[in-house]
């Protein structure tokens, strides 16, 4: 049993696709080697459910399409899904005892679109319970471990997705980002991840946490690989009431992101030796305060200098309500979670307590037994801020601040810069259990990512260096764009990755 899958020999989805099309190897061979590697790396606790029969059946179907010349763009490419996307066959638990053993009768739109493109799923990936967390320590089935340091967290809530990609078990994985849960684990595991504009990717079949914030996004090693998945995942879905048809006159259709990416690359190439000439990079002063570790600040500064050598212009900007994004988010998101999770009552589906005297006690005991402490904490906060007498003081006020945060970003994009860059996290990955005595300490680590989510903007994380010699773990650079600018962000990230090799480093190699 090998811990090195066959697809690790290829540096991108494009190169692997070419090998599959030329029949240099088969999708079944790739899938079998990836399954072996996933089993060999059980120490990461990245996978919650693997079913070789299901995976090999998808691989065989991909091989048939490849042989016929009718294969989709991702035919045979090994991926995996965060365990908040419903899947037929594989269990969907949201990493919670509440849904232990649940198998959905339908696929999420994200899952079905990737499957229609021919991607082969290895199974379901670990995450924070109901996507609530910043370290992947809140899973009911144990924490995922960071491939760079097994004593460290991989980031959350999409920690299993980032760990699986960083360890080379899959070429790419799906994740969800409510307050930074794609960007943060990507940064802490040394891979790339993108959260698109809210409404770009369908939420149908994605287990809800905060409905006005949740958005699906891919995690992969390269920006170009993110493009391969995101372009397939995106597009209007009539089954999702929050799915966008258009934004500022731009149609949210499959192929839009790739077209924008190609147009940006073509424009960059016309710039000659300075491909990013004219690009204005806004650097918020609030992102470089006393809470930012010196090693993270140094890595981000070096990345900004690299962009300047490519022709970009650095502009100092202000996002004055950056710190207010923390209390704003932790009022709005728990309020929405309180509403969304009320459906888990022990009656229709999910965990039901074994002993109870009446319906009220059955519901109470079922929820107490089924939900973990972080989920219960957020439900309690959310229920409180929505209760009579506190709605105006907390929830309504948070929504007003949210609008101010949106305005801050729009002020910057309208008058000062084209994109915004800065750190993703204040420090490198912490040790598992570091904040056990203060569960809310992790909330403060979201300070650089929450504002983007509250505003519904697209943003991504790309590797840009490593921490101090004492803790030489990956560091991510955050790139934030205006609405529907995913293609442009990916093209800018790709240009950076053409002249650096941070995204090519693997655990054990720095």
3-state SS assignment for residue 183: helix
Closest CA to 218 of 333, 82, 83: 82
- What pLDDT is stored for residue 254 in this prediction? 86
The pLDDT of 300-304, averaged and rounded, is: 98
Tens digits of residue pLDDT in 448-489: 999 999 999 999 999 999 999 999 999 999 999 999 999 999
Cα 9 to Cα 13, 19, 66, 124, 361: the distances in Å are 11, 11, 20, 23, 56
Confidence of residue 271 (pLDDT cuts 50, 70, 90): low
Tens digits of residue pLDDT in 234-268: 999 999 999 999 877 888 988 999 999 999 999 88
Strand partners, 31: none
Say whether pLDDT at 510 is over 60: no
- Give the pair of three-digit tokens for residue 357: 């005297």
- Give the pair of three-digit tokens for residue 18: 């070419």
Confidence of residue 436 (pLDDT cuts 50, 70, 90): confident
460 membership: H or E segment, kind and range: strand 459-466
Alpha-carbon distance 464 to 474, whole Å? 8
- What pLDDT is stored for residue 2 in this prediction? 65
- What pLDDT is stored for residue 257 in this prediction? 96
Alpha-carbon distance 103 to 164, whole Å? 22
The pLDDT of 332-343, averaged and rounded, is: 96
Closest CA to 232 of 17, 386, 395, 404: 17
Number of CB atoms found within 10 A of residue 499's CB:
11
> Catalytic residue among 112, 134, 157, 485, which?
157
pTM score, two decimals? 0.97
Q: 237-241, 262-266, 276-280, 387-391: which has the minimum mean pLDDT?
A: 387-391
Cα 500 to Cα 383, 402, 476: the distances in Å are 47, 36, 13
What rounded mean pLDDT belongs to the chain? Answer: 95
- What pLDDT is stored for residue 101 in this prediction? 92
Closest CA to 503 of 465, 471, 458, 460: 465
181 annotated active-site = yes
Confidence of residue 444 (pLDDT cuts 50, 70, 90): confident
Say whether pLDDT at 494 is over 60: yes
Exposure of 352 by Cβ count < 10 A (0-12 exposed, 13-18 middle, 19+ buried)?
A: middle
> Catalytic residue among 181, 234, 338, 485, which?
181
Q: Map out the domains of the chain with their CATH numbers.
A: 10-256 (3.90.1300.10)
- Give the pair of three-digit tokens for residue 382: 């959310």
Alpha-carbon distance 507 to 162, whole Å? 13
- What pLDDT is stored for residue 495 in this prediction? 97
Cα 420 to Cα 146, 211, 298, 396, 492: the distances in Å are 28, 25, 17, 28, 12
3-state SS assignment for residue 328: helix
Say whether pLDDT at 85 is over 70: yes
Say whether pLDDT at 5 is over 80: yes
What beta strand segments (E) does 221-366 contain? 246-247, 250-251, 280-284, 313-317
> Catalytic residue among 8, 26, 33, 82, which?
82
Say whether pLDDT at 1 is over 80: no
157 annotated active-site = yes
Tens digits of residue pLDDT in 12-69: 999 999 999 999 999 999 999 999 999 999 999 999 999 999 999 999 999 999 999 9
Say whether pLDDT at 319 is over 90: yes
Question: Helices 294-309 and 486-499 sit at what angle, rounded to 10 degrees?
Answer: 90
104 annotated active-site = no
């Amino acid at each position: 049993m090998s811990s090195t899958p066959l697809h690790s020999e290829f540096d991108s989805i494009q190169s692997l696709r070419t090998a599959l099309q030329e029949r240099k190897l088969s999708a079944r061979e790739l899938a079998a080697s990836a399954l072996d590697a996933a089993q060999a790396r059980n120490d990461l606790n990245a996978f919650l459910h693997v079913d070789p029969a299901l995976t090999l059946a998808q691989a065989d179907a991909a091989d048939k399409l490849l042989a016929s010349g009718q294969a989709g763009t991702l035919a045979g490419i090994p991926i995996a899904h965060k365990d908040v996307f419903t899947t037929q066959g594989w269990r969907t638990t949201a990493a919670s005892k509440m849904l232990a053993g649940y198998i959905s009768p339908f696929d999420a739109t994200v899952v079905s679109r990737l499957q229609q493109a021919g991607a082969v799923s290895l199974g379901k990936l670990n995450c924070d319970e109901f996507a609530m967390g910043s370290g992947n320590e809140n899973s009911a089935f144990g924490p995922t471990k960071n491939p760079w340091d097994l004593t460290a967290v991989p980031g959350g809530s999409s920690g299993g997705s980032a760990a699986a990609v960083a360890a080379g078990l899959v070429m790419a994985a799906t994740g969800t980002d409510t307050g930074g849960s794609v960007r943060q684990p990507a940064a802490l595991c040394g891979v790339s991840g993108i959260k698109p504009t809210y409404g770009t990717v369908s939420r149908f079949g994605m287990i809800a946490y905060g409905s006005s914030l949740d958005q699906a996004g891919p995690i992969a090693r390269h920006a170009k690989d993110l493009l391969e998945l995101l372009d397939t995942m995106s597009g209007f879905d009539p089954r999702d009431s929050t799915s966008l048809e258009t934004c500022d006159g731009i149609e949210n259709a499959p192929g839009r992101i790739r077209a924008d990416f190609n147009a940006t690359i073509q424009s960059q190439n016309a710039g000659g030796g300075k491909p990013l000439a004219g690009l204005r990079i806004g650097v918020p002063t609030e992102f470089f305060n006393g809470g930012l570790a010196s090693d993270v600040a140094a890595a981000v500064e070096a990345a900004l200098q690299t962009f300047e050598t490519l022709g970009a212009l650095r502009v100092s900007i202000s996002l004055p309500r950056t710190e207010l994004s923390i209390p704003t988010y932790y009022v709005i998101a728990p309020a929405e979670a309180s509403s969304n999770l009320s459906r888990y009552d022990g009656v229709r589906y999910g965990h039901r307590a074994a002993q109870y005297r009446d319906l009220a006690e059955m519901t109470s005991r079922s929820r107490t037994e089924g939900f973990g402490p972080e989920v219960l904490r957020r439900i309690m906060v959310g229920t409180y801020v929505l209760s009579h007498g506190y709605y105006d003081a907390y929830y309504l006020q948070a929504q007003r601040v949210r609008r101010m945060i949106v305005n801050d970003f729009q002020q910057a994009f309208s008058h000062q810069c084209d994109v915004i860059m800065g750190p993703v996290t204040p420090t490198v990955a912490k040790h598992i259990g570091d904040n056990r005595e203060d569960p809310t300490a992790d909330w403060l680590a979201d300070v650089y990512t929450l504002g983007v989510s509250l505003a519904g903007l697209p943003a991504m994380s790309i590797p840009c260096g490593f921490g101090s010699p004492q803790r030489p773990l990956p560091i991510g650079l955050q790139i934030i764009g205006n609405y529907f600018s995913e293609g442009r962000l990916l093209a800018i990230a790709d240009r950076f990755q053409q002249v650096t090799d941070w995204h090519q480093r693997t655990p054990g190699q720095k």
